Amino acid sequence: MKTLEMPSFGADMVRGRVVEWRVAPGDRVCKGDTVALIETAKGVIDMEVFEDVTIEQLLVSLDEECDVGTPIIAVSGGRSDNTGEEADEQQDQPMVPPALIPASASASETIVVPRLAPSTVKISPAARLLAWQQQRDTSGLDGSGPDGAIVLSDLHRQRPVSSESERAPLLVNQARAGGFDPVAMRGAIAAVVSRSNRDIPHYYLSLEVDLEKCQAWVNAYNADADPEHRMLVNAPLMCAIAQALQRHKEFNGFYQQGEFVASEAVHLGVAIALRGHGLVTPTIHHAQTLPPAQMMQRLKSLVERAKYGGLKVSEFQDATATLSSIGDRGADQIFGVIFPPQVAMIGIGKVSLKPVVETSDGGSPRIAIRSRVNISLGADHRVSDGYSGTRLLNDINKRLQKPEAL
Amino acid sequence: MKTRTEITDIILTAIADVAPDADTDELDQEEDFRDELDLDSMDFLNIVIRVVKATGVQIPDADANKVLTLNSMTDYLMERL
């Protein structure tokens, strides 16, 4: 019998409880279906399954608090429903989404970073995840699983090596009306930004770019569109940023164990403010492949679900770079704090009309009123330099001048 | 035919839906409600979506600047209902 286990949505989350079952024994569920709503100290998140399975038994009671990794649903079927050694091995593997198993933790001189997947240590995915989340070193630990593999119970016996304050969440959680604790969310944000400012030598650049063409393109797109299908200028902006990030690899990926590993895909974290109650940063996966209309629908869906609930576990991990838009009623520009282990934070200020000196072909310079926006970059100086940062920003600008090609 | 109060209620309901924490009691009906209630462009779009659904009146994107206050949006809808 396989089990689904209490998932985690951040390194600071060690416990959760089921507040609502969406399934009953005997139900057949498909990949992506929500099986339960999980409440943490900071919010309620939909727990989805990652393959087609049949629900056999609910293993915990509603509102019963349990540790991350605790089996909560017994299931059958799915890709590993077979016999023999492979099945035994699978028993120990929770169906956590691949996105939740990080390539590695951020490098930090003061935190003992667990070595993930070292060739000599066997460790179950659940134990690997917990070890990473709790910044625990598994070397030297005796495993009680098959072939001496380290399993969850081994970790539960071992005392965590790092203190609570040293555990830093990758991302903070989402909120649902009535289901989150602003104090805990503030604490999670505090932990991640403190770690970022302590460990990452940031440098900052900003470029004012012209949005006239983009705005005109969006206006033309919206002219005949009903409100549900209208676009905000943020959509092409995000497309340009995602596409430029893919090309400028030193800004897209993870800095881990003293080494930067670029990501081929751009998984764009998007900071969404919860109207004075903190922020969440869900991820738009493969953002570089999305045209503006699709980007808009994804963004709209994320904002909607950040406010009213329905964000999924898989949407909380994996971001390779993050975008923070201070909003069109906000400030001129924002210089953000990088989410470790990412290496870049892109900021979008408010769009405003500005006088700009134009030099047209051969004519004398004249002043024109143009729609402009500041795009900023906060980047990790261990990985890139200001020169490459300027190239990224100018590439974004260049793409914005051809919105029809995005 | 809806009364002015009914239309204003539809708009306020849409605002409350999109920004539950916004205090519409103190809302100045002549001021841009994006400023008054700290709404961003996504919030505003979502309000327009709800108002269009509830009234059946189309608000083309080009007319967005004609519906930025509670009074002007109410006027706009009254004229078209």
Provide the pLDDT for residue A276. 64
Chain-chain contact of B42 with A303 (C-beta, under 8 angstroms): yes
Model confidence at A190, pLDDT cuts 50, 70, 90, reads confident
Q: What is the pLDDT of residues A83-119, one digit of tens each?
A: 444 433 333 333 333 333 333 333 222 222 222 333 3
Mean pLDDT over the full length of chain A: 79
CA–CA separation, A199 vs A235, rounded Å?
32
CA–CA separation, B66 vs B60, rounded Å?
10
Chain-chain contact of A219 with B20 (C-beta, under 8 angstroms): no
CA–CA separation, A196 vs A202, rounded Å?
9
Provide mean pLDDT across the span A206-229.
Answer: 95
CA–CA separation, A29 vs A7, rounded Å?
18
Provide mean pLDDT across the span A328-333.
Answer: 83
CA–CA separation, A122 vs A124, rounded Å?
7
Provide the pLDDT for residue A180. 57
Chain-chain contact of B41 with A234 (C-beta, under 8 angstroms): yes
Q: What is the DSSP string of A93-122?
A: -----GGGS-S-PPP-SSS-PPPPS-TT--
Which residue among B21, B35, B52 places its CB closest to the CB of A329? B35
Provide mean pLDDT across the span A23-52.
Answer: 83
Q: Is the pLDDT of residue A36 over 70?
A: yes
Greatest alpha-carbon span in chain B: 32
pTM above the 0.95 mark? no
Q: What is the pLDDT of residues A244-297, one digit of tens each?
A: 999 999 999 999 999 999 999 999 999 988 776 677 888 999 999 999 999 999
Which residue among B20, B39, B45 places its CB closest to the CB of A232? B45
CA–CA separation, A402 vs A393, rounded Å?
15
User: Which residues of A lie closer than 8 Å to B, measured between beta carbons?
Assistant: 177, 219, 222-223, 225-228, 230, 232, 234, 275-276, 299-300, 303-304, 327-329
The verdict on B65 touching A (C-beta cutoff 8 Å) is no
Measured in angstroms, the CA of B74 and the nearest CA of chain A are apart by: 18
CA–CA separation, A395 vs A243, rounded Å?
9
Which residue among B38, B58, B62 places its CB closest to the CB of A223? B62
Lowest mean pLDDT among A126-135, A136-145, A194-203, A360-369: A126-135
